[in-house]
């Protein structure tokens, strides 16, 4: 009897112990759920705080970023303006270079043409020098003489040259003498230049044009004619002192 009672008591103690273990597991599970909920709430709270702080930081920094962006935009516009001005200056410089290159090319072409013409003139001069051999060094020659009727006067053009080289200039004078008809008679008269204040000045047999040159001299002008005189020929004399060094005669066409 005693053994049976002991067995029943053991079984009852074991049931009580099992019940207590089950209650402990339930309490432990509830505590675990509470910890998880606390962590979740804490995470939500921290996230919200971080969001609010981030929002405040963005709000506090956005105006500065906007100002900086506006400043950068302003600087960009200035840089673009400077670039446009620089490009314009470059275009002008390139245009000037093109104009200068074109002008230089035109000047080079003109220079080449002038040099070619000068060469031709030199060749022609050498040819004429062969046709008209010069005299002794320093001698004067009449290289060209043209005389034409110009209303009541005569217009002349002359080119005088010296052969070789000389240490002293030639000093002398030109004299024009005309041969023609006056009052039905053949006469010979000296001619003088037309004076600006008297276009009908009377000729003089002593008329002369002073000369003073080293290598060549061009001369031109008007010669006055007496009223009623019809010139037939005109002679140009080059004098040194009272000595005629060279002369040339030009025949004039008969008046219509």
CA quadruple 10, 16, 20, 22: dihedral, nearest 10: 90
pLDDT of residue 55: 46
Burial (CB count <10 Å: 0-12, 13-18, 19+), residue 6: exposed
Q: pLDDT grade, residue 176 (50/70/90)?
A: very high
pLDDT of residue 235: 96
pLDDT of residue 58: 45
Q: Is the pLDDT of residue 256 over 60?
A: yes
Across the chain, what does the average pLDDT equal? 73
Asked if 234 and 195 touch (Cβ cutoff 8 Å), the reply is: no
pLDDT in tens, 11-61: 344 443 444 454 445 445 444 454 444 444 444 444 444 444 454 444 455
Asked if 160 and 140 touch (Cβ cutoff 8 Å), the reply is: yes
What CATH number has the domain spanning 135-251? 2.60.40
More confident residue, 22 or 231: 231
pLDDT of residue 101: 82
Extents of the domains making up the chain: 1-131, 135-251
User: Model-level pTM?
Assistant: 0.47
How far is the first Cα of the chain from the last one, in angstroms, to the nearest whole number?
Answer: 194
pLDDT of residue 236: 95
What are the structure tokens assigned to 192, written together? 């003088």
Instruction: Give the span between the Cα atoms of 39 and 33, in whole angstroms.
Output: 10
The CA distances from residue 214 to 125, 129, 140, in Å, are: 18, 18, 10
Instruction: Give the span between the Cα atoms of 139 and 133, in whole angstroms.
Output: 11
Candidate ranges 54-63, 70-79, 118-127, 239-248; pick with highest mean pLDDT: 239-248
Q: Is the pLDDT of residue 154 over 60?
A: yes
Tell me phi and psi for residue 255, to 5 degrees.
-65, 150
Instruction: Give the span between the Cα atoms of 231 and 244, in whole angstroms.
Output: 22
Asked if 180 and 203 touch (Cβ cutoff 8 Å), the reply is: no
């Amino acid at each position: 009897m005693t053994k049976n009672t002991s067995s029943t008591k053991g079984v009852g103690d074991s049931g009580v112990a099992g019940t207590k273990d089950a209650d402990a597991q339930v309490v432990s599970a509830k505590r675990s759920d509470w910890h998880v909920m606390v962590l979740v709430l804490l995470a939500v709270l921290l996230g919200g705080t971080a969001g609010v702080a981030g929002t405040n930081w963005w709000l506090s920094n956005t105006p500065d970023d906007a100002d900086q962006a506006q400043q950068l935009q302003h600087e960009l516009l200035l840089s673009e303006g400077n670039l446009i001005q620089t490009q314009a200056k470059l275009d002008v410089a390139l245009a000037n270079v093109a104009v200068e290159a074109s002008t230089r090319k035109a000047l080079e072409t003109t220079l080449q043409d002038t040099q070619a013409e000068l060469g031709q003139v030199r060749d022609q001069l050498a040819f004429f020098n062969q046709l008209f051999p010069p005299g002794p060094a320093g001698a004067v020659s009449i290289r060209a003489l043209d005389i034409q009727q110009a209303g009541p006067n005569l217009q002349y053009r002359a080119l005088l040259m010296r052969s070789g080289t000389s240490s002293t200039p030639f000093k002398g004078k030109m004299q024009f003498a005309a041969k023609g008809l006056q009052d039905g008679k053949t006469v010979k008269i000296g001619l003088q230049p037309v004076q600006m204040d008297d276009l009908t000045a009377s000729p003089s047999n002593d008329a002369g044009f002073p000369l003073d040159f080293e290598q060549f001299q061009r001369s031109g002008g008007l010669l006055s004619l007496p009223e009623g005189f019809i010139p037939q020929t005109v002679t140009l004399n080059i004098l040194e002192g009272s000595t005629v060094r060279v002369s040339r005669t030009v025949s004039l066409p008969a008046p219509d």
